[in-house]
Amino acid sequence: MIESRIEQRTQSIKMKSNGTDLSLRASIITLGCPKNEVDSEVLSGELTAHGVEIVDDEEYADILYVNTCGFIEAAKRESIGAILQAVKWKQRRTGRRVVVWGCLSQRYRELKELIPEIDGCFGVEPFEIMIRNTAFSGYRWTEAAWNRRYPCSPGHTAYVKIADGCSHSCAFCAIPMIKGPYRSRPMESVVTEVRHLAARGVKEIILIAQDTGAYGMDRKEKQGLYRLLRGLVRVPGLCWIRMMYLHPAHLSENIISMMEGEPKICRYVDMPLQHIDETLLRAMRRPVSRDKIVQLIERLRTIPQMVLRTAFIVGFPGETEFRFRTLMDFIRENRFDRLGAFVFSAEEGTEAFAMSGKVRPVTAAARYRQLMALQQKISRELNEARIGETVDVLIDEYDAFSRRSAGRTSGDAPEIDQTVWVNGFHEPGRIIPVTLTAGFEYDLEGSPAVKLKMDIGR
């Protein structure tokens, strides 16, 4: 699932070029998914390695890097808006530069011609090209860059990108033509990065890729994700390992069994299904049938405390009222713990762009509201049924106004899933037992179960 998000950070960079001091301050604007967030963190780390000084105010910046998203129409509009704001920022002081990179500029190479105020335009190619042309001409990329990344997420949680690109041919998706085919990172590189993160105090890592379950397949490695997980569970200090974007075609029994038996691996499956009607699944070029999906769900439900998250598209060409009702019935029957939905976006260059049987936007929007209202009801009922349960909660932050701490269970990913509000102050990064006292649509409330002298999970 890709949800459009924006996070802005400011950094000051001091460089040396050809032996001459060059004072350069920079900001990075990141749009799009967590994979983009990781890319920005790695870019920040590489610039830092050549003399970065962190500051808080972007008005002191000389160069602005805009990391764009170009996945769907809404994300493209947001990226264009951020670029235009960056142009205004540039015009407020002589000598400033705007550098655009990422998915949007990869997809639309004519971007610099359309917005000539852009000083540099780069796609998703290696950082080496962009850094050489914008900041440090002698820069060379190495795998060690992953270990120098500059995290912008809370210090106890970090995303880890294990692959890039996609080799699926889903009819609605532009990612393969933007990112290219699936490319796994070397296993040693991933494990080393996680060791560095854990040594810095990270308790939870979140493995991400366009299809996490396909890790290693492009390298002809057997059971690549399973072998990677076997290495990661041995990393000292790590408490939770979460996997996002598990395509149903590649969620194997050995991975499911490992979730069942390995306490560090969260019993949490993020498995975007997109639809359940057989005709639409074929039209979407989804390689997994309804029967296979049902079997997977039944197997996952045999594991105690398993949390299932999925995502669906409404308004795909050919989605009749009957097919939409089929989807709604499926959701009622399976009562997913977490669920997101998206209105179909016709993206040029994809097979679905020219498909007949388009659904009117007003109809698609109405279906989206119906689906999310159903899920809201299900979510409230599931949360209310948990009152009285004691669960481990990873504390993310403290809200001084309400005098409560905000945290998550192992069944909740940051930013996209629900929050557990805990009475009183609790140190971020700690995992504490909480007795749930109230349940709402997307939040839970609770009180500490016992007074702890040490962290759970260490």
By CB atoms closer than 10 A (0-12, 13-18, 19+), residue 435 is middle
Sheet holding 52-53, edge to edge: 52-53, 6-17, 20-31, 63-68, 97-102, 120-121
- Does domain 153-384 fall into CATH 3.10.440.10? no
pLDDT one-digit tens code per residue, 265-301 = 999 999 999 999 999 999 999 999 999 999 999 999 9
pLDDT one-digit tens code per residue, 178-188 = 999 999 999 99
Q: Using alpha carbons only, what angle is made at residue 153 by residues 147 and 158, rounded to the nearest 5 degrees?
A: 50
- Would you kindly state where each structural domain of the chain is located, as residue ranges? 6-144, 153-384, 390-448
pTM, two decimals, is 0.90
pLDDT of amino acid 26: 85
pLDDT of amino acid 55: 56
Residues 6+ apart with CB under 8 A from 335: 378, 382
Quote the CATH superfamily of domain 390-448: Nucleic acid-binding proteins (2.40.50.140)
pLDDT one-digit tens code per residue, 435-448 = 999 999 999 999 99
pLDDT one-digit tens code per residue, 38-77 = 999 999 888 878 765 645 577 888 889 999 999 899 999 9
Q: How far apart are the first and last CA of the chain?
A: 31
Show the tokens assigned to 364: 């698609």
pLDDT of amino acid 56: 58
Q: CA-based Rg of the chain, rounded to a whole angstrom?
A: 23
pLDDT one-digit tens code per residue, 346-367 = 999 999 999 999 999 999 999 9
pLDDT of amino acid 236: 97
pLDDT of amino acid 11: 34
pLDDT one-digit tens code per residue, 118-174 = 999 999 877 889 988 988 888 888 889 999 888 776 789 999 999 999 999 999 999
Q: Are 392 and 409 in contact (CB under 8 A)?
A: yes
More confident: 61 or 312: 312
Q: Which CATH architecture has domain 6-144?
A: 3-Layer(aba) Sandwich (3.40)
